[in-house]
Structure 1
Amino acid sequence: MKPHHKLAETKTPDGIPLTLEEHDGSFCIRINGLALMHSRATTSELHLGELAAGRLSAVRRPRVLIGGLGLGFTLRRVLESAGAEARVEVAELMPEVVEWNRTHMADLNGRLLDDRRVRVRVGDVWEIIGEAAASGTEGAEDRRYDAILIDIDNGPQDMVQKSNLRLYTNRGIAIMAAALRPGGRVAIWSAGTDTAFAHRLARAELQVEVVRAKPNAASRSRTYAIFVADKAGAEPKAPTTVQRSGAGRKHVSRGGGNARKSGRAR
């Protein structure tokens, strides 16, 4: 059996150990010893990028914000699909994760950080979203986004970083919606579905769809969820009703519901 090699380690702002490991050519970031992300289980991260890029085809020079660099797979898919004039910002709280991508994982996706379309912003994605939400007023530069992708937690109830909870509250959702341009889309990765969170998104006048995703291409079950929420364009969209829409998809109406989540480490 080939050994696991610890390549680097640091601590989160909450003081939790974060490590980068390599094993037989694959990479894994662990938090407190639990697998957070793995380079052999990337299907859902790629799917997240696809869902955002699918909204950008008709947008000239789209602006995209990716919250959480991770191993760079969502960034890869966005760059593959968003076009030559796209502007993609990557918000990463941990500078060490950016450095790990540039060095240890340069041949994985790290070199994408040097793409002329990409701007890496080391800091809290909450602050960056807040800046965008406050822009676009009369006489100010419009720094809102056509797509915002969030992949920083296990889901709306299972935080990697305690302060991230504010993103999933009614106020946080309202700020994300304000940070979108008309017709924009926010897509949020989760280890499991959460009906209450989906309804909070819908109550913010967003058109919501919950898309189930596989951990990897060989998986039979779609254990993960991606919350897709679209902002109305020039004309407001009618509220959706709860209905099945093909395999792995569900539309959400405004209303209550019970939350359910997966406990798997992200």
Structure 2
Amino acid sequence: MSRLFEEIDSQASPLGEISLRRRRIPALGDRDIYEVKLGDEFLMSSMFVEAEEALSTLGLAQVQGDRLDVVVGGLGLGYTAVAALKDERIAELLVVEALDTVIGWHRDELVPLGKTLNTDRRNRYVHGSFFDLATAPDTGFDPESPGKKFDAILLDIDHSPTEFLNADNASFYTTENLALMAEQLKPKGVFSMWSQNLPEEGFESLLKTVFETVESHVISFYNPFQSGESTNSVYVCAKGRTRPQ
């Protein structure tokens, strides 16, 4: 196999064949680029991580206090989780991931950030559907502490609030289900979400039916394949002291 490309792992999943690949592109320098594909669709690349990291930094910047308990929805290549752990206020980080294969890549350190996550005692992987756990506040995200509330929930699973990794995820994006998730936030807790698209006015309006404040951030980064700037967005929402009626 060419040293410029290697398929590290490929396994069946409930969503289809998921694969981890490593490649080098000589024109982009001497570095390994890690990619995840689901079937024929590219899910993520270590080339473009600015917005995944901003999901953590922008979200946590709005959180008050110390000894923070935080949930990351979607492990991916680990960039959102590692960026969150750079915040010294975090006491515990739960990373909720539906695909056990992806957790295995990190536990086995087949991806660059696996060792960082494995050696940080504040980090814990939770194998399960973020969307199922988000809409069941009586049990919640932490299997060891049912009903536990969190200072922040950081979500990076779907491509956008209107383009879904799995069609079943669409039902999450409603006032009712967002409010069920918000029940798992402490007073003034923060919900932050990544999107591959520019901010969508309709989704901002939906978020305002649940959260006291809603801000949208456009994250720009250089894309060498387009020889120019690309953009993602991050929504940051703060909860009021009581659940909206």
Into which bin does the TM-score normalised by the smaller protein fall?
A: 0.7 to 0.9
How far, CA to CA, are the matches of 2:168 and 2:185 in structure 1? 22
Tell me the equivalent position of 1:152: 157
Contact 1:8 1:21 in 2 (8 A): yes
Stretches of structure 2 that go unaligned for 5 or more consecutive residues are 25-31
* Distance change (3 Å), C-alpha of 1:172 and 1:113: farther
Aligned to 2:65: 59
Q: Which residue of 2 aligns with 1:255?
A: none
TM-score (norm 1): 0.77
Worse overlay, 101-110 or 225-234 = 101-110
Residue type at the aligned position of 2:92 = R
Q: Compared with structure 1, are the counterparts of its residues 208 and 13 closer, same or farther at alpha carbon in structure 2 (3 Å cutoff)?
A: same
Tell me, yes or no, if the aligned pair for 1:11 and 1:18 is still in contact at 8 Å: yes
Query: What code does the residue aligned with 2:33 have?
Result: S
The question of 1:99 aligning with 2:104 is answered yes
What is aligned with 2:17? 17
Give yes or no for contact 1:133–1:178 (8 Å, CA) kept in 2.
Answer: no
The residue identity in structure 2 corresponding to 1:213 is I
Q: Is the 8 A contact 1:214 1:220 kept in 2?
A: no
Deviation at 1:74, TM superposition (A): 0.7
Q: How far, CA to CA, are the matches of 1:141 and 1:134 in structure 2?
A: 4
Total equivalences in the alignment: 228
User: For 1:71 and 1:110, how far apart are their aligned partners in 2?
Assistant: 12
Q: Which amino acid aligns with 1:55?
A: Q
> Is the partner of 2:177 in helix, strand or coil?
helix
Which residue does the alignment assign to 1:41? 48
CA drift of 1:194 comes to: 1.8
RMSD of aligned alpha carbons? 2.5
Shift in alpha-carbon separation, 1:97–1:42, aligned structure 2, 3 A: same
* Pairing 1:1-266 to 2, within 5 Å after superposition: 2-14=3-15, 16-24=16-24, 25-56=32-63, 58-83=64-89, 86-132=91-137, 143-192=148-197, 193-216=199-222, 221=229, 223-233=231-241
Q: Secondary structure at the match of 2:52?
A: helix
Q: For 2:127 and 2:211, locate their aligned partners in 1 and report how far apart those are by CA, in whole Å.
A: 31
What amino acid maps onto 1:124 in structure 2?
S
- Tell me how far apart the structure 2 counterparts of residues 171 and 11 of structure 1 sit (CA, whole Å): 33
Query: Closer, same or farther in 2 for the Cα pair 1:179/1:215, shift >3 Å?
Result: farther
Deviation at residue 145 of structure 1 after TM alignment: 1.1
Pair 1:168–1:212, CA change in 2 (3 A): same
SS of 1:81 mapped into structure 2: coil
* Aligned residue type for 2:150: Y
Summarize deviations over 1:132-169 as a string: whole Å, max 9, x none: 4667xxxx975111100110010111111222212212
Fraction of identical pairs, as percent:
26
**Residue 92 to residue 203, structure 1, CA distance change in 2 (3 Å):** same
Distance 1:221 1:145, change over 3 A: same
Deviation, structure 1 residue 3: 2.8
Separation (CA, whole Å) in 2 of partners of 1:217 and 1:77: 21
